[in-house]
Amino acid sequence: METTDMEKREEKSLNFLERIIEDDLANGRVPNNTIVTRFPPEPNGYLHLGHVKSICLNFGLAEKYGGRCHLRLDDTNPEKEDMEYIESIQRDIKWLGFDWGDYLYHASDYYDQLYKIAVNLIKEGKAYVDSLTPEQVREYRGTLTSPGRNSPDRDRPVEENLRLFEEMREGKHPEGKYVLRAKLDMASPNLNMRDPSLYRIKFASHPRTGDKWCIYPMYDYTHPISDAIEGITHSICTLEFEDHRPAYDWATSIDGIEHTPHQYEFARLNINYMLMSKRKLLNLVKLGIVTGWDDPRMPTITGIRRRGYSPESLRDFVSRVGVAKVESVVDYNLLEFCAREDLNKRALRYMAVINPLKVVITNYPEDKEEWFDAQDNPEDPQSGTHPVPFSRELYIEQEDFMEEPIKGYHRLYPGNEIRLKHSYYITCNEVIKDAEGSIVEVHVTYDPESRGGTTPDGRKVRGTSHWVSAKHGIDAEIRLYDKLFSTEYPGEATGNYLDDINPESLVVLKHCKLEPALKDAKPGQYLQFMRTGYFVADSVDHTSENPVFNRTVTLKDSWSKKAKKQK
C-alpha cells in the first residue's frame, strides 16, 4: 500500500519528458541505453531566457539519465548568422554551468551529406526542381481548408532535375529561380507536407563554409537529418514545431538514414513585461533603445549576467517554472524572487548611500576616526567581517531625513534619535540650508555610550540608517534598472512593442557614496547594499578609478507576498 503511494508520488513529480524517457529506457527502446539530446540554437542572435529553459531541459535530462547532450549550431541562414553569435552562445551555455564536452556540431558539418541525400531523393523520383516563383509556390500550396495543386514542374524527368540541381549548386542560376522540393502530398491536411522546399539558392558567404555553397538546405530537411546523423534519441523542441513533426518523421525515414530520432514538444517560456524573440531583441539593439545585447535590461543571458544574476538563480527559476505541454506566461516577479533567494545567501553586505545627505556630528572630534567590524553576510555564519570607517562627517540617504516628518516617520528629523548601523545613536539638532532654502547638511550629536548599538539605560530607537564616512567613502555611479517594458504584454495595445518602452527603465545616479571596501569590488562578486538592493560592479564600465555598479534587483519582494495572499 505504502509503496504504491510512494511510487505514485514519485511518478507525479516527473515531468512528461522524464516519463517518456524512463519508459523508453525500461522498454529497451534506446540504442545503447544512452539518452542523447541536443540544444540546437540558430546563431542569429544572443541566447535569452527562453533558451535557458531549453538548455536546462536538454542538458538536464542528459545529466539525469547518464546520457549526453550535443550543442549543435543550426547554421543554415548564412545572411543572418555571425561568428560573434556562435561565440556568445558557447560562452553563455558554459556560464550557466553546462558542458557539451566533445559534442560540438554545426548543421553545416552535414552539408555534403545533406547534398548527397538530396541527390538520391531526386534519383528515386522523390524530389524535383521547381521553377515556380515564391508567390506562385504560396498560391499553389492552398490553405488550411483547401488542398494545394501540383506544380507544373512536379513531373520533371529525373535527369533534368539532376542537371538543374547540379547547376544550382554551381551557381549557374540566380536566387529565387529554382528550389528543390520533396515530392510528398499537395493534398495533405498538413501544410508542411505539401511538397516542402529542401534547398534554396542563396549567394551568401557562410560564417564557416565561406563561399563553398550557394545553395542552402531548409530547416525541416536539415534539422531531422542532423539529429539522425548524431544519434539523437529525444529531439526536444517548442510547441510551434508540433505541425512540423510529420515532416520530421518523413525526413528521418528517408532510405539510407539508419537511426530514427523522435521529436517531442514542450511549451515555450514566456515572461510578462519581456520579449523573448531574437528578432525583436536585435531590433532593440539596432535602434539603440538598449546599449547592446548585453544591456542589463535585456532578457539575454549576457544581459542578465551583467545585471548581476547568478547562473544558479536562473537554473532555479527554470526548475520552478517546470515543463508543460500548455503555453503559459510566467510572472516576472518569479524571476526576481529567484534572484533574491540566491543573492540573499551569497551577497556580501556593504553600505552605500545613493542619494547622499551630509551629516555633521558636532560633538565628535574633528581628527578622530574609528573602524567598526561589519559582518560580510549575516545569513552565512561562516562569513567574515570587514572594517568600516567612521568619522565626524558622514552621508546618509536623503530619504532618511525629513525636516517636517509625516506621521509614522521614524527616521531622522529635528529632535529625533536614530541608530547608525554598526556604530552609534545620533540625535538631530539643526538643519543647515543655503540661500535658496535647500538643505545642505544636518547637524547631529552622538551618544558615545551607544557604541555598538545599545545604551546603558537600554533606551530604544525606531529608525536605523546606513551611512558612509565622508572622508573615507568613494564616489561611484549607480545604475538603477527596472523593467524594459512598462506593460505586461509589450505591443498588445498598439501592435508595436516600441510604444511600451518604460522611460524609467534606467536611472543613472552619479556621485553616490560607497564605503571604501567597495573600491576592490570585481564584476561577478555578488553584493548587497544595505536597504537598497543587490548590486554588482558593471562588467563593461567599472574600474577602480571610476566605479560603476548595477542594481540587480531591489530587496523588496512582492512575489512571495502575492503568493502568500493567494494562499
Annotated active-site residue 268? The verdict is yes
Q: Provide, rounded to whole angstroms, the least separation between the CB of residue 391 and Mg ion.
A: 58
Candidates 34-42, 176-184, 306-314, 507-515: pick the segment binding ligand ATP (CB under 6 A): 34-42
Which of 417, 234, 291, 440 is closest to 357 using CA atoms?
A: 440
What residue is closest to ligand ATP based on CB? 50
Between 197 and 319, CB nearer to Mg ion? 197
Q: Which long-range contacts (CB under 8 A, 24 or more apart) does 239-247 make?
A: 239/265, 239/266, 239/267, 239/268, 239/325, 239/327, 240/268, 241/265, 243/190, 243/191, 243/192, 244/192, 244/220, 246/188, 246/190, 246/192, 246/193, 247/190, 247/192, 247/193, 247/196, 247/220
Task: Give which of Mg ion, ligand ATP, none residue 60 binds (C-beta under 5 to 8 Å, depending on kind).
Answer: none
Q: Provide, rounded to whole angstroms, the least separation between the CB of residue 305 and ligand ATP.
A: 18
Among 223, 234, 278, 307, binds ligand ATP (CB under 6 A): 278
Residues ≥6 apart with Cβ < 8 Å to 334: 317, 320, 321, 559
Among 42, 185, 312, 482, binds ligand ATP (CB under 6 A): 42
Between 18 and 42, CB nearer to Mg ion? 42
Task: Give which of ligand ATP, Mg ion, none residue 237 binds (C-beta under 5 to 8 Å, depending on kind).
Answer: ligand ATP
Neighbour-count burial for 507-523, b at 16+ CB within 10 Å, e otherwise: eeeeebbbbbbbeebeb
Between 107 and 530, CB nearer to ligand ATP? 107
Q: Provide, rounded to whole angstroms, the least separation between the CB of residue 42 and Mg ion.
A: 5
Q: Provide, rounded to whole angstroms, the least separation between the CB of residue 55 and Mg ion.
A: 15
Between 219 and 549, CB nearer to Mg ion? 219
Candidates 47-55, 147-155, 319-327, 424-432: pick the segment binding ligand ATP (CB under 6 A): 47-55
Q: Provide, rounded to whole angstroms, the least separation between the CB of residue 356 and Mg ion.
A: 48
Q: Within 189-228, which residues bind ligand ATP (CB under 6 A)?
A: none
Between 42 and 370, CB nearer to ligand ATP? 42
Between 244 and 466, CB nearer to ligand ATP? 244
**Pattern of binders to ligand ATP over 49-78, x per CB under 6 A?**
-xx-xx------------------------
The one catalytic residue among 154, 177, 268, 531 = 268
**φ and ψ at residue 496, rounded to 5 degrees:** -130, 110
Residues 271, 483: Cα–Cα separation, whole Å: 12
Q: Provide, rounded to whole angstroms, the least separation between the CB of residue 97 and ligand ATP.
A: 17
Which of 104, 101, 11, 15 is closest to 53 using CA atoms?
A: 15
Q: Within 251-270, which residues bind ligand ATP (CB under 6 A)?
A: 268-269
Candidates 272-280, 289-297, 504-512, 546-554: pick the segment binding ligand ATP (CB under 6 A): 272-280
Are residues 377 and 349 in contact, defined by beta-carbon separation less than 8 angstroms?
Answer: yes
Among 41, 261, 473, 490, binds ligand ATP (CB under 6 A): 41
Neighbour-count burial for 333-350, b at 16+ CB within 10 Å, e otherwise: bbbbbbbbbbbbebbbbb
Among 237, 352, 354, 374, binds ligand ATP (CB under 6 A): 237
Residues 298, 304: Cα–Cα separation, whole Å: 7
Gyration radius from the chain CA atoms: 31
Between 57 and 527, CB nearer to ligand ATP? 57
Between 44 and 90, CB nearer to Mg ion? 44
Annotated active-site residue 42? The verdict is yes
Among 209, 238, 464, 525, binds ligand ATP (CB under 6 A): 238
Q: Provide, rounded to whole angstroms, the least separation between the CB of residue 340 and ligand ATP.
A: 23
- Residue in the block written with cell 511600451: 500
The SS3 call for residue 516 is: helix
Q: Provide, rounded to whole angstroms, the least separation between the CB of residue 52 and ligand ATP.
A: 8
The one catalytic residue among 22, 42, 167, 477 = 42
276 makes contact with ligand ATP (CB under 6 A): yes
Candidates 271-279, 289-297, 373-381, 525-533: pick the segment binding ligand ATP (CB under 6 A): 271-279
Three-state SS annotation for 4-17: HHHHHHHHHHCCHH
Residues ≥6 apart with Cβ < 8 Å to 477: 508, 509, 510, 512, 541, 546, 547, 548, 549
| C-beta neighbour count of 434 within 10 angstroms | 9
Among 21, 35, 37, 40, binds ligand ATP (CB under 6 A): 40
The one catalytic residue among 278, 315, 392, 513 = 278
Residues 450, 456: Cα–Cα separation, whole Å: 8
Residues 249, 94: Cα–Cα separation, whole Å: 32
Residues 316, 49: Cα–Cα separation, whole Å: 12
Three-state SS annotation for 300-323: EHHHHHHHCCCHHHHHHHHHHHCC
CA 508 to chain centre: 23
What residue is closest to Mg ion based on CB? 42
**φ and ψ at residue 295, rounded to 5 degrees:** -60, 130
Between 42 and 167, CB nearer to Mg ion? 42
| C-beta neighbour count of 70 within 10 angstroms | 23
Q: Provide, rounded to whole angstroms, the least separation between the CB of residue 237 and ligand ATP.
A: 4
Size of residue set near ligand ATP by CB under 6 A: 15
Surface-to-core class of residue 565, CB atoms within 10 Å of its CB (0-12 exposed, 13-18 middle, 19+ buried): exposed
CA 55 to each of CA 43, 45, 113, 314, 430: distance values in angstroms, whole numbers, following the listed order: 15, 16, 27, 11, 59
Q: Which three cell numbers stand for residue 367?
A: 581628527
Q: Provide, rounded to whole angstroms, the least separation between the CB of residue 104 and ligand ATP.
A: 15
> How would you classify the pairing of strands 506-514 and 352-353?
antiparallel
Between 120 and 238, CB nearer to ligand ATP? 238
Residues lying near ligand ATP in the complex (CB under 6 A) are found at: 40-42, 50-51, 53-54, 237-238, 268-269, 276-279
Which residues are catalytically annotated?
Answer: 42, 268, 278
